[in-house]
């Protein structure tokens, strides 16, 4: 039986494929390679290039493979872009997922684990955020992920398709051996940008706002290592296989770090100066997002290994220093 990974050439998907194969799963990958990298896909995975919005294509993959479940990472995920172009997000994320669910229903595939996001919560006043915190997305990206969750809920009721939605906080780092890692164009995420400054590829870091209601005035986020994050997906996949009900889990570390703290940590890890300057706030940034991940630990038995943010940055640094141009070389 095969695990079908949608978006398996992307940053998070490629780490999932790698870990699944290392744990002896049979893996098939669908990716349209619009933002993913073919080189990132483990050579033992069977790769089908195409788009999840193309129903005939998706059907053809389900017809060729004996699929026991789906892990779904295929989505657009840039908050700012989603505000500029919401229909891109409703099309790719919501319509794409709807097609996947139609085909799953047709082929009687009954389990799906998928990427949701902290952005479904919007800007909650209380941290840490639990799964009981009300959802209130503030941008089309978060809204599209919440719509995906809701669609899944009704498909569970009607067709018995079980799902686990994993609401990620800030995913970071790379595989420990630095063979795969994060490579986005354009890059918008804090850690890779800091490391590009460390490598001399950018002049300085722009710190987006230092007048937030936090200890040092910069935004606080909860960083979770990519390999820990993928462990949770595999546990969730096994949880559904064991016949458990649909569920939603936060994935974070229960601790928050400010932008300035991240910068300091990166300076220590890299030994580089990393110039930085305070810039205006970035539209739509919540001040603090920290996850309570107790539920994933309790129900799934998830045990994140990377509890030190410097270790997370170190794995990202190994990747970026090793592959300064990412997969382009």
Catalytic positions are 141
Q: Does 57 bind ligand UFG (CB under 6 A)?
A: no
Pick the stretch among 68-76, 104-112, 117-125, 238-246 that binds ligand UFG (CB under 6 A).
117-125
Query: Judged by CB, which is closer to ligand UFG: 9, or 207?
Result: 207
Q: Does 285 bind ligand UFG (CB under 6 A)?
A: yes
Query: Judged by CB, which is closer to ligand UFG: 21, or 206?
Result: 206
Q: Which helix (H) or strand (E) holds 142?
A: helix 140-159
**Which residue's beta carbon is nearest to the bound ligand UFG?**
219
> How many amino acids of this chain bind ligand UFG (CB under 6 A)?
21
Distances from the Cα of 210 to the Cα of 118, 258, 264, 282, angstroms = 22, 10, 15, 11
Query: Judged by CB, which is closer to ligand UFG: 119, or 248?
Result: 119
Query: Judged by CB, which is closer to ligand UFG: 41, or 229?
Result: 229
Q: Which of 141, 237, 249, 306 binds ligand UFG (CB under 6 A)?
A: 141
With vertex at residue 63, the alpha carbon angle to CA 62 and CA 67, rounded to the nearest 5 degrees, is 45
Cα gap 76→231, rounded to integer Å = 22
Site string for ligand UFG, 70-109 (x = CB under 6 A): -------x-x------------------------------
Pick the stretch among 42-50, 68-76, 183-191, 241-249 that binds ligand UFG (CB under 6 A).
183-191
Q: How far is the CB of 205 from ligand UFG (least distance, A)?
A: 6
Q: Does 162 bind ligand UFG (CB under 6 A)?
A: no
- Secondary structure E strands in the chain: 2-6, 26-31, 46-49, 67-72, 111-117, 162-168, 170-172, 205-208, 220-221, 223-225, 247-251, 257-258, 276-279
Cα gap 120→150, rounded to integer Å = 11
**The pairing of beta strand 220-221 with beta strand 257-258:** antiparallel
Q: Does 117 bind ligand UFG (CB under 6 A)?
A: yes
Cα gap 125→145, rounded to integer Å = 21
Q: Does 119 bind ligand UFG (CB under 6 A)?
A: yes
Query: Judged by CB, which is closer to ligand UFG: 145, or 175?
Result: 145
Q: Does 208 bind ligand UFG (CB under 6 A)?
A: yes
Cα gap 106→122, rounded to integer Å = 34
Torsion over CA: 295, 296, 302, 307 (sign): negative
- Asked if residue 114 lies in contact with residue 72, where contact means CB atoms within 8 angstroms, the answer is yes
> Pick from 61, 56, 42, 60: which is nearest to 4 by CA?
61
**The pairing of beta strand 111-117 with beta strand 46-49:** unpaired
Q: Which of 207, 229, 234, 316 binds ligand UFG (CB under 6 A)?
A: 207
Q: Does 265 bind ligand UFG (CB under 6 A)?
A: no
Interacting residues with ligand UFG (CB under 6 A): 77, 79, 117-119, 141, 170, 188-190, 193, 205-208, 219, 221, 259, 282, 285, 289
């Amino acid at each position: 039986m095969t695990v079908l990974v949608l978006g398996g050439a992307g940053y998070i998907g490629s780490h999932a494929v790698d870990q699944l194969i290392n744990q002896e799963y049979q893996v098939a990958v669908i990716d349209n390679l619009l933002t993913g990298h073919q080189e990132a896909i483990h050579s033992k995975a069977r790769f089908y290039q195409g788009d999840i919005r193309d129903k005939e294509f998706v059907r053809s993959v389900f017809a060729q493979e004996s699929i026991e479940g789906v892990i779904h990472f295929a989505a657009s995920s840039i908050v700012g872009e989603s505000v500029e172009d919401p229909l891109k997000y409703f099309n790719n994320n919501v319509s794409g997922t709807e097609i996947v669910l139609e085909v799953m229903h047709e082929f009687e595939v009954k389990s799906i684990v998928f990427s949701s996001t902290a952005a479904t919560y919007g800007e909650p006043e209380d941290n840490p955020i639990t799964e009981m915190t009300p959802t209130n997305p503030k941008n089309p990206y978060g809204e599209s992920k919440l719509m995906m969750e809701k669609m899944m809920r009704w498909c569970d009721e009607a067709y018995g398709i079980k799902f686990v939605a994993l609401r990620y906080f800030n995913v970071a780092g790379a595989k420990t051996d630095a063979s795969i890692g994060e490579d986005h164009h354009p890059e918008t995420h804090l850690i890779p940008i800091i490391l590009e400054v460390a490598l001399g590829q950018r002049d300085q870091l722009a710190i987006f706002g230092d007048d937030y209601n936090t200890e040092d005035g910069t935004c606080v986020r909860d960083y979770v290592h990519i390999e820990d994050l993928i462990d949770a997906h595999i546990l969730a996949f096994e949880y559904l296989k064991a016949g458990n009900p649909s569920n939603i889990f936060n994935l974070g570390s229960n601790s928050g770090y400010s932008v300035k703290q991240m910068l300091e940590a990166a300076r220590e890890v890299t030994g580089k100066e990393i110039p930085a300057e305070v810039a205006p706030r970035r539209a739509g940034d919540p001040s603090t997002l920290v996850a309570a991940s107790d539920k994933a630990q309790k129900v799934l038995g998830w045990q994140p290994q990377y509890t030190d943010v410097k270790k997370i940055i170190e794995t990202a640094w190994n990747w970026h220093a090793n592959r300064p141009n990412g997969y382009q070389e």
